Structures are given as structure tokens and as C-alpha cells.
Chain A
Amino acid sequence: MERIPILKMGPVLLVSIQVDMHDQLALTLQDDLTARIVKTHARGVLIDISSLEVVDSFIGRTLGNMAAMSKVLDAETVVVGMRPAVAITLVELGMSLSGVRTALNVERAMEMLQVATADGHATAGEGPDGRHPD
């Protein structure tokens, strides 16, 4: 079965979603990610969605779930590279993903995660955090 690959870069797990996921693939990703966080003691998760042209409410919820689950496992998640058209549409759809931290690009996200992982806690830096996703 196809899976979205999860790469390990030090204490950070990198998930790059490059395909238009069907529902099962998204659910499998959620499972794989949580298992990987536990196995690698990851402190940060970076989800790169810069290739996604469409994020509907299901994918949006999946992103929110992944961030929440990671947090429970003491890892901080940053969603990276949302496209303008996708952001506008998601907001119109009614999803603001307020429990999810976001960054424009991978460099920025790594900075945020380094601050997060450096001080031994999963929370740090600016922006809304610690809130439950939609």
C-alpha cells in the first residue's frame, strides 16, 4: 500500500505531502506519524503542504489531528507552505486551523522548531498554540 514517507532529521520528523491524498492514505499517515514520533522520540514535526493544491475539510481536520496527537506525545508540529489560494479557500470553508502552528517555508519552520526543541518543552515562540484544533 502506498504511504506518505516520513523522514527523520535529528529530533524533527519531516512529512512532505506531495500527492492528492485519498481518505485512507490520510488516515494511514496519521497512524504512521504517531508511531514514528514514539519510536524516534521526536520533538518536532514539520508537515510540508507546499505541493497541495486543494485542502478540503477532511484534509484540514487530518492536519489538525496530527498536530494535536503530536502534542500529546510532547512534539511540536508546524504546517509549512500553504498556498494562498488554499488559505483563502480554507478560511471560506470555515476552517482556521487555530490549533496548528504555521510557517511560510521550511527554513522558518525549522527555526520555530529549534526554539521549541531547545528548551526541553514542546511549546515556545510566538503565535497561538496549545489550543485544540477545529
Chain B
Amino acid sequence: MSTDGAGGLAELLDRHEKDLLAAWIDSQLRSVTGRRDLISEAELREQSRQLLRLVRDAAVLGGTEDIQGAQWAPVREMLGAVSASRARLGFTPSETAAFVFSLKEPLFALLRQQLGTDARAIGDETWKATVLVDRLGLYTTEVYQTSREDVIARQHEEMLELSTPVVQLWDSILGLPLIGTLDSARTQVVMESLLQRIVDTGARIAIIDITGVPTVDTLVAQHLLKTVAAARLMGADCIISGIRPQIAQTVVHLGLDLSTVVTKATLADAFAVALQRVGLSVVRSPVPR
């Protein structure tokens, strides 16, 4: 049996693909870290079959030294797809990489079996095999990281939109509960949503509640005042509510000028003022039996 260079490993993969596949699937099914709750046996079999086939093809065509080469592109693509889909299913990076690393055990067993008497050959080919599988596993981890980062970025955007809901509290009165920090990007989203709602509902008062805004510094105050000014240009006055005691202190310590805007401690107080402003009042009526 020839053991020169990559020919040894590649040739083995070529000749014993079927047995190797069977051994690999078997070891995965037996493993406790297989996350069988997240992926079905059928899918596992198919992914293993595909990967092994692609690895064999690449090794035969281009050797096992450089997995970044053109011949390994189909393998990289497949690993990318597996990695992305497993990330979506909820696999941890280790679990996804473990899928690739689990090929080592059956592969080494195959090498021992086939190269039995030649200790040197076993050493060389085992080394090549471990380097190859390590690289493939690491590649899987890298792709996983990138796709997680994409998911996080997208979720961040969605959160930004969801966290600025504008609610209609009553005819002519809008409520805007702000949750989280108010940076300039968020302020843009807030202003656009608020102004659009003012147009849609013809609101005359907007209550901006900052109970959920952790800190109010000079910049946040500027952003709030900008929002108030923009709403006013469209004929709606704003009341800022949810001023916590610490915020009141910060406002004074920083010398922030909120004198152009009506501020109230609670949303309820603000709502009462708003009702008064638009000429409405709440009247007690007998409760129907």
C-alpha cells in the first residue's frame, strides 16, 4: 500500500469511504454530546454522508494540505451551511465543531487497520489526518461566529424598532414609553415614529415616559429636547414623565435646561394634565350590575 504524502490519506478515504461513513455515523449516534434533541438521525446521516463525500473528493483532487484551496471550496461551503443551520437550531459552537472532530476516531481506527504493520506510516498519516480534521473543525467554528454576529446585528435592529412603540392613550393623546438608552440612532427612530403617529392620529399631546431610561446626561437631554421640538413643529406638545428622583438630581447637577418642557413624575400625572389640555375630563359613573 502506498503511503507517500497525501496520497496515503486520500487514497484511504477513496477506497474505504463506505466503511468509514458507517463507523463515523455509528460513533456519533453513540455519543452523549450529539444533541439528538436538536437534530434528527436522518439529517445527521445525510450531513455525514455529504461531508465525507466532499472531503474525499477534495482530498483526491487536491491533497489534504490546504483546505483554503479551490478544490476544498465545496467542503467549506457545506461546512458553512451546516454551521449556519446548526446555529439557528441552537447548537453551541463546540457542539457544531464536535460534529467535525468526531470524524477523528473512526478515521484513526481505519488508518491503524490498513497500515497495521508500518508504524512510521501510521504516525505520518495520523498526523495528516489530525491536522486536516482540526482545520475543518476550526473553520466550522469561525463560520459559526460570523453567522452569530449577523444574527445579533439583525436582532439589534429589530429591538431598536420594537422598543419605540407609540401608543394612543386617548383621542389626541399619544404615549411613548422609552426603554433603554437614548443614543442618536435611537432618537432618529423615535422621532420618525412619533411624528408619523402624530400625522396618522392628529394627536395634540405626546407623553414621553422615561421611566425605562437608565441615565439622563447632557446628550440624552439634548435628544429628548430635539424630539420635543420636532413634535411641537407639528402642532403637538410634549410632556415628559417618569422622572425618577435620581434623574431629577442629575438634571439639576448637570445644569440641564428642561424649562421649555412640562415634566411630571408619573405617566398618570402626565395623562391627567393631557386630558385637561385637550378639554376632557374623567367622570365617575355608577357601575352597571
Task: Tell whether, in the assembled complex, residue A102 and residue B233 are in contact, meaning their CB atoms are under 8 Å apart.
Answer: yes
- In the docked arrangement, what's the CA distance between A96 and B234, Å? 11
Q: Nearest CB to that of A78 among chain B residues?
A: B235
B161 contacts the other chain (CB 8 A)? no
- In the docked arrangement, what's the CA distance between A128 and B235, Å? 11
Q: Nearest CB to that of B201 among chain A residues?
A: A104
A90 contacts the other chain (CB 8 A)? yes
Task: Tell whether, in the assembled complex, residue A91 and residue B236 are in contact, meaning their CB atoms are under 8 Å apart.
Answer: no
CB-CB < 8 A to A128: which residues of B? 232, 260
Task: Tell whether, in the assembled complex, residue B195 and residue A88 are in contact, meaning their CB atoms are under 8 Å apart.
Answer: yes
Chain B count of residues within 8 A CB distance of the other chain: 21
Interface string of A104-134 (1 = CB under 8 A from B): 1100100000000000000000111000000
How distant is B262 from chain A, measured CB to nearest CB, in Å? 11
Task: Tell whether, in the assembled complex, residue A104 and residue B233 are in contact, meaning their CB atoms are under 8 Å apart.
Answer: no
Interface SS of chain A? mixed
Task: Tell whether, in the assembled complex, residue B233 and residue A82 are in contact, meaning their CB atoms are under 8 Å apart.
Answer: yes
B121 contacts the other chain (CB 8 A)? no
B178 contacts the other chain (CB 8 A)? no
B202 contacts the other chain (CB 8 A)? yes
CB-CB < 8 A to B202: which residues of A? 104-105, 108
Task: Tell whether, in the assembled complex, residue B234 and residue A82 are in contact, meaning their CB atoms are under 8 Å apart.
Answer: yes
- In the docked arrangement, what's the CA distance between A108 and B203, Å? 11
Task: Tell whether, in the assembled complex, residue A126 and residue B277 are in contact, meaning their CB atoms are under 8 Å apart.
Answer: yes
B105 contacts the other chain (CB 8 A)? no
**A104 touches which of B191, B199, B229, B277 (Cβ 8 Å):** B199
- In the docked arrangement, what's the CA distance between A90 and B196, Å? 16
A62 contacts the other chain (CB 8 A)? no
Task: Tell whether, in the assembled complex, residue B234 and residue A91 are in contact, meaning their CB atoms are under 8 Å apart.
Answer: no
Knowing A91-B226, A98-B260, say if A84 contacts B236 (CB, 8 Å).
no
Q: 3 closest A-B pairs (Cβ-Cβ)?
A: A84-B195, A104-B235, A87-B233
Q: What are some 17 contacts across the A-B interface (CB < 8 A)?
A: A86-B233, A87-B230, A88-B191, A88-B230, A91-B191, A96-B229, A98-B229, A98-B232, A102-B235, A103-B235, A104-B199, A105-B202, A105-B235, A126-B277, A127-B232, A127-B237, A128-B232
Besides the known contacts A92-B226, A104-B236, A108-B235, 11 further A-B residue pairs in the complex with CB atoms under 8 A apart: A82-B234, A87-B233, A91-B191, A91-B233, A97-B233, A102-B234, A104-B198, A104-B234, A104-B235, A105-B202, A128-B232
- B interface residues with partner A (beta carbon < 8 Å): 188, 191-192, 195-196, 198-199, 202, 204, 226, 229-237, 260, 277
